[in-house]
Chains A and B, each alone.
Chain A
Amino acid sequence: MKTLALAASLVACLATPGLAADVEHGALTISGAFARASAGMAKAGGGFMTIANIGCADTLIGASADVSERTELHTHIKDGEVMRMRKVETIDVPREGTLELKPGSYHVMFINLHAPLKEGQVIPVELEFRKAGKVSIDVEVGSVGAKAPAKHMTH
């Protein structure tokens, strides 16, 4: 079955190439990757994206980028009205499912930015998955309060 699924995904890749910003890697398709322009001199930034998986369960185990001193995986835990942000070592990518990195939830965190992120900038980020290995993606910097990548925004 696995081979079939893989074959199917390869056929799908050939037949319907994704949007320019989508990155397909084996069973994974990473799309809609965006970050937000830094508010002034703010030294941290978040990266968000959708990771669709048509294969077996995988695990996101790391991210790296040149824009900051460190790049980590984080999540938010909502505790009543309080949001607690925590570093996580791994994030599960469900089998034949989708992992969403989005505001208020999982995100790639750029810690101690070398320079403020500017709208329109593209940040090369390398994601690392336990099974799928390393995947290079481009993260587009949107407005300071972007909720989605620029091309999906309605205003």
Chain B
Amino acid sequence: MTFLKPLWPLLAAFSLMASATAQAQEAPALPRIGGDFALTTHLGQAATQANFSDKPLVIFFGYTFCPDICPTTLAEMVGWVEELGQDKDKLHYVFVSVDAGRDDQETLAYYVDAFFDELVGLYGPQDRIDEIVRAYRVYAKKVVDPEEASDYTIDHTASVYLMDRDNRYAGMISFGESHDAAVAKLRKLIDEAT
């Protein structure tokens, strides 16, 4: 049986191709990750996808009230950027706030400043946030504290998305992934863009 094993991926690929051909007419193409948006940077400048199209993009979604996942990820990112050295300038780094209720320009500016200089914070009204959340197919859902209605947290995708220069999805760095694996992915993203 062991000699058959290498065939399985091939067979699977064939059957996928076959079913893809069969369904080509009715099924829509796979939804793409990424797309245009219209938000504001932590410095108060309007920003769209075009502002980040000269380099690959490292993009993470979170909120400043997040006590754990976001600071953990952004602190990891500080380590990645340090390790990239000069090459760090070959990528854009963006933190998108999914918390329209709390994150204004000032809050976000103080927040991103706590991590690293190249990090750009983006924020906007709820409808604009919904737009980028949809475009990047991330999950962000407000969870209201049953005891204190004014307090809420947001369940959100904890992965860092890697986008190539053409704003095509190029992979992700999951929460808890090792420093070395993350840096390797960033280097690959840089290499493929040059």
How far is the CB of A37 from the nearest CB of chain B, in Å? 8
Note all chain B residues with C-beta closer than 8 A to A40. Answer: 64, 107, 109-114
Note all chain B residues with C-beta closer than 8 A to A81. Answer: 139, 157-159, 172, 174-175
Interface status of B117 (Cβ within 8 A of chain A):
no
CA distance A70 to B145 in the complex (A): 12
CA distance A128 to B89 in the complex (A): 48
Interface size class of A (residues with CB under 8 A): 35 or more
Partner of B67, one of A70, A78, A107, A147: A107
Note all chain A residues with C-beta closer than 8 A to B74. Answer: 39, 145
A44 with B67, Cβ < 8 A, contacts A78-B175, A82-B158, A83-B155 known:
yes
Chain A residues near B (Cβ < 8 Å): 36-46, 70, 74, 76, 78-79, 81-87, 103-104, 107, 109-112, 143-147
* Majority SS at the chain A contact face: strand
* Majority SS at the chain B contact face: mixed
- Docked-complex contact A112 and B151, CB < 8 angstroms: yes
How far is the CB of A88 from the nearest CB of chain B, in Å? 13
Partner of B66, one of A44, A112, A146: A44
Interface status of B53 (Cβ within 8 A of chain A):
no
Interface string of B55-74 (1 = CB under 8 A from A): 00000000011111101101
> Looking across the interface, which residue of chain A has its beta carbon closest to that of B154?
A85
Partner of A104, one of B69, B111, B148: B69
